[in-house]
Amino acid sequence: MKGNTEGFLYGRSFSIIYRHGKIIHEKMLREFNVSGPQIWYLKEIHENPGISQEDISQGYHIDKGAVSRAVKKLSKGGLVRIEPNPDDKRAYRLFLTEKAEEMYRCCTKQMRYMEKRMEEGMTKEEIETFRRLLSKVTANMAGLIKEGKDI
Range of the domain at 27: 13-118
pLDDT tens digits along 32-54: 788 777 888 999 999 999 999 99
- pLDDT value of residue 26: 82
pTM greater than the 0.85 cutoff: no
| Radius of gyration of the chain, Cα coordinates, nearest whole angstrom | 18
CATH of the domain at 97: 1.10.10.10
| Pair 142, 72 in one domain | no
| Pair 17, 73 in one domain | yes
Judge whether 114 lies within some domain. yes
| Pair 17, 76 in one domain | yes
Residue 150 has pLDDT above 70, yes or no: no
Judge whether 50 lies within some domain. yes
| Pair 142, 114 in one domain | no
| Pair 64, 129 in one domain | no
- pLDDT value of residue 54: 93
pLDDT band of 1, cuts 50, 70, 90: low
Q: How many domains does the chain have?
A: 2
| Pair 30, 66 in one domain | yes
pLDDT band of 2, cuts 50, 70, 90: low
Phi-psi region of 85 (alpha: psi -120 to 50; beta: other; left: phi over 0): beta
Nearest to 13 by CA among 23, 24, 1: 1
Phi-psi region of 94 (alpha: psi -120 to 50; beta: other; left: phi over 0): beta
| Pair 70, 127 in one domain | no
CA 129 to chain centre: 21
| Pair 70, 90 in one domain | yes
| Pair 93, 142 in one domain | no
What is the rounded average pLDDT of the residues 107-112? 87
* Sign of CA pseudo-dihedral 110, 30, 66, 73: negative
Q: Percentage of the chain surpassing pLDDT 70?
A: 93
